[in-house]
Amino acid sequence: MTGFRSRVPRLGGVEDCQRRVVIQTASASLTRNTFPTNESHQICLTTHPWASALISQAGEAMRTANANLDILFIAGFGPIVRDTAKSRKLYGDVMRIPFKEETGEYLHTEALGGAKTFALWPLPQAARSCFGKDSWPDNVPVPQAWLEFDVGSVEKATAELESKGYKMLVKNRKEPWGQVVSRFLSPEGLLVGVTFTPMMRDSEEEAS
């Protein structure tokens, strides 16, 4: 918890609040920007407004995001796998994730919370989506995982990303299953997509 303590100002009456937050948070094994909802912490946060400033408010990032990107939700995430058998053993057999299997050993599930889809995407399929062939080019870093954000407009989001210097591997492409996508490599080596995924939009509209 030293990272948390270094960010907390030591201002007179704040010290007692600081001590209680650190001790109780440590015992609950919480991350440094997370506060429990018990009464003592609620009093502490109310009494000392500086503490609440450490916590991101719900929707804050979306309200301040670039309007041209207009991210709506995480469409999917997962590792890009080279050895499907080993990945299936870890995520399917050990972690007991209930995958559905598609052609080409594409394993996916929509049963986990936090993202619309979690999938083990074989590298040859990722290569085909980006380059139209099963082999990943030697002169392009091989991604370790994929991440997709469904956006208000793929075209606008793509143009905005390109204007900031990001090079698209595939641009405004319509996949056979109806999804429209642009993909690029992030600085961390993720294969990132901005997407329009019709079947996921239908479920969002029904939920609202």
The amino acid occupying position 41 is H
DSSP class of 35: -
User: CA distances (Å), 96 to each of 89, 113, 129, in order?
Assistant: 9, 15, 28
The amino acid occupying position 112 is L
DSSP β-ladder status, 180-185 and 168-174:
antiparallel
**145 beta partners:** 79, 190
pTM to 2 decimal places: 0.60
Output the pLDDT for position 188. 87
Which parts of the chain sit beneath pLDDT 70? Answer: 1-66, 203-208
What's the CATH fold of domain 64-207?
A: 2,3-Dihydroxybiphenyl 1,2-Dioxygenase; domain 1 (3.10.180)
What are the sequence ranges of the domains in the chain? 2-52, 64-207
Contact 88, 120 (CB under 8 A): yes
Output the pLDDT for position 58. 41
- Write out pLDDT tens, residues 37-87: 343 333 333 334 433 443 334 445 554 556 788 899 999 999 999 898 999
